[in-house]
A and B are shown apart, each in its own frame.
Chain A
């Protein structure tokens, strides 16, 4: 454990991408965690006297067209965005891993059929898939979570299937098979732990894509409904006021960028681990 700590310490000092990834991610997480306990204002509290104010000490990110404090709304919004992104990746990873592992391990006719469907879904841009699902199940953040989750299954299934196929004929699997290990145990106890590296990096990339997809879809007005808003929805609300009050549109936008940037720096840093 101590050497693990040392490696992180060393990378924090020498690995620029890793350092900045940590700093940015911690900042964003701080914004969310602090928001759980304390926010400068109630995110839905309107104040007619302070509409569309710029950046000030009273309102560090200014106020919106209804006089609501943008910082509080950003704190609340980034919580929703992070939750949906995490949920999306969780659904995608679990379902994708199970489908990918089973089809890759057993092969055969079922594999053919499922992989055709996965290929077809993969050829389908995930934003479109999410739109199809939302138009069927209706608009709301739960539907959005489900939609994005399903849209993320194909890519995870493909990655896991490829890895399982690669591992299936390796010596350690052969060895376990000779010892009479059951198929279930083989997949989940022997093979899956060996592909966790690949899975980890696709989770990091997937998380970024999920944040971007969530932001894009809630920008289109699909997702959490007013008065609460996720970051993407805030941007689309703010857009019509951007010439009068740029801080209202810039602040939530920059928070989205930092959120994605933090994780992509972390991913980049891990790939350059020293």
Chain B
């Protein structure tokens, strides 16, 4: 419990540091937000009045406090370009991006753990060598290119889905999930490759240790040693990696959404960046950072449950 509280405290500190960095980054940029909202034709009086209304004349720490307070309460500011609350722009897109990330995560686990065990069991054999080379190649394919390849193979040659035929979850959840399967696969592939390699190495390391030999000499067969003893220990580094991977997948979906023309968070983020619509960019970046940091916290807690030794060492 003490460990969890300590980690929770660290998470809050990290979140505060991130929020300060993000806030500072977007507030030291040259250019007057009031002028941006009103356009360059606006009269100086009107600009001054708007500055007053937006609270831009207050000192930086006051503005930071107000922004943070608003953020915690779910007020993410107002878009410069569309003059509507950022929340309204973003909220309906969140499920799309999150569904994709979670699906990619599940795919990673479902594919990589059996494959990792398989290669480790056939260490040095033909199957292992083929899988390891394939693994290395898959790792080198950037997700957006594997997205393009998947579209070519599954969309054009096999006709399993219609490229660009995205259906929103409000219309048909089944079709929504089916369409998202392929982008999720594209996000998952490089992570699958990394997880397989890691699990293989970890399993081989663990199986060399004394406890594995003891388990053998007590009459366990290979499966018994593997599933009842070695696998549990071998999973520990893999769990940390998977946690980081899940966080990465949320960010990685930005590129993949563009590849499969999915109208998720990414499209808003990219247009807002090129339009310099800072409140939107700020809110989305903070949102993703919050998800990433919370996931890392959860991984720490899970880690602790899987391996009680960790708390004792600190």
Contacts and interface: CB of A to CB of B under 8 A. Distances in A.
A242 to B, nearest CB: 6
Contacts of B137: 257, 261
Contacts of A67: none
Given A132-B281, A136-B26, A268-B136, A212 B142 contact: yes
Contact of A256 (B145, B151, B258, B289): B145
Given A119-B14, A123-B289, A135 B281 contact: yes
Nearest to B295: A123
A198 B248 CA distance: 24
A241 B13 CA distance: 48
B142 A256 contact: yes
Main secondary structure on chain B at its contact with chain A?
helix
B289 A220 contact: no
Interface centre among B140, B274, B293 (most CB of A within 10 A): B140
Nearest to A17: B136
Contacts of A128: 251, 254, 285, 288-289
B278 A124 contact: no
Interface in B91-119: none
Given A119-B14, A123-B14, A123-B289, A253 B145 contact: yes
Interface string B219-251: 000000000000000000000000000011011
A235 B143 CA distance: 12
A127 B254 contact: yes
Interface stretch (B17-25, B39-47, B54-62): B17-25
A121 B292 CA distance: 11
Interface centre among A125, A242, A258, A261 (most CB of B within 10 A): A125
B29 interface: yes
Contact of B14 (A116, A136, A212, A219): A116
A124 B26 contact: no
Interface in A46-96: none
Contacts of B258: 219-220, 236
Contact of A220 (B22, B136, B254, B276): B254
A243 B142 CA distance: 20
A239 B270 contact: no
A156 B135 CA distance: 25
Interface string A208-226: 1000100110011110000
Contacts of A242: 148, 151-152, 156
A239 B21 contact: no
A131 B136 contact: no
Interface in B252-309: 252, 254-255, 258-259, 269-270, 272-274, 276, 278, 281, 285, 288-289, 292-293, 296
B273 A243 contact: no
Contact of B278 (A135, A235, A243, A261): A135
Given A135-B273, A220-B258, A268-B136, A124 B152 contact: no
B135 to A, nearest CB: 10
Given A121-B21, A219-B144, A239 B259 contact: yes
Contacts of A229: none
A31 interface: no
Contacts of A249: 148, 152
B153 to A, nearest CB: 11
A243 B292 contact: no
Contacts of A256: 142, 145
A246 B148 CA distance: 10
A200 to B, nearest CB: 19
A120 B14 contact: yes
Given A125-B292, A242-B148, A257-B140, A220 B270 contact: yes
A103 interface: no
A125 B250 CA distance: 9
Interface string B144-173: 110011011000100000000000000000
B141 interface: yes
Interface string A245-261: 01001000100111011
Given A128-B288, A242-B152, A117 B139 contact: no
B241 to A, nearest CB: 14
A117 B17 contact: yes
**Which 5 residue pairs spanning A and B have beta carbons closest together?**
A125-B251, A260-B140, A120-B17, A261-B140, A135-B273
13 contacts: A116-B14, A125-B247, A125-B251, A125-B288, A128-B285, A132-B25, A134-B273, A135-B273, A136-B25, A139-B274, A220-B258, A235-B144, A264-B139
Interface of B: 13-14, 17-18, 21-22, 25-26, 29, 136-137, 139-145, 148-149, 151-152, 156, 247-248, 250-252, 254-255, 258-259, 269-270, 272-274, 276, 278, 281, 285, 288-289, 292-293, 296
